[in-house]
Amino acid sequence: MAKVRWKPGAGSAWRDKRDREHPSHGKIVAIPDRMQKTFGRGTMLIPSPRAVDEIARTVRKGRVLTLGSLRAALAARAGADSACPLTTGIFVRIVAEAAEEDRREGLKRITPYWRIVRDDGSLIEKFPGGASAQARRLRGEGVRMTTSRPGASPKVANGTSRAG
């Protein structure tokens, strides 16, 4: 089987990266040996950016979705045991950047990417505007934030409603 090369290109819009199909998107593969210590044996979904976007759009105002819950939801929808953490993380970033492109174009209903947090409740620095912008948006929706020490990055407080 020939190796498929897919590179969106440096000049591509984030929305193009979100919407473009690729032969490996949606594929279910055996969990690689090097990942079995973490994920066990079974199957792993290689998600698509669109699938990540669809699930992110279901998170209601005032709630958050952890990356682990996102991966579990992606896997469950596809009938796999897990979803690839690497591609899921990349696609969360693509979804966030595409949402900001949508906002700049004047769209009112954009994907609420800022509601996605790490499994420990920490915020995602690579989102547009960084963790501080994500914290402002979450606080604006009534999500409680906490810091472990002065100057530390905020986290979603324990007890905050988490979707998933």
Domain ranges in the chain are: 22-163
CA dist 16 and 12 (Å) reads 6
Statement: residue 8 has pLDDT above 70: no
- Is pTM, for the whole model, over 0.75? yes
* pLDDT tens-place string over residues 78-110: 999 999 999 999 999 999 999 999 999 999 999
CA dist 92 and 140 (Å) reads 21
128-151: average pLDDT: 92
What the block records as the tokens of 57 is 């759009």
* pLDDT tens-place string over residues 64-73: 999 999 999 9
* CATH topology for the 22-163 domain: Arc Repressor Mutant, subunit A (1.10.10)
130-159: average pLDDT: 89
Say which amino acid occupies 105: E
pLDDT of residue 149: 80
- 15-29, 63-77, 106-120: range with lowest mean pLDDT: 15-29
- Its sign, for the CA torsion 114, 29, 7, 50, is negative
pLDDT of residue 147: 83
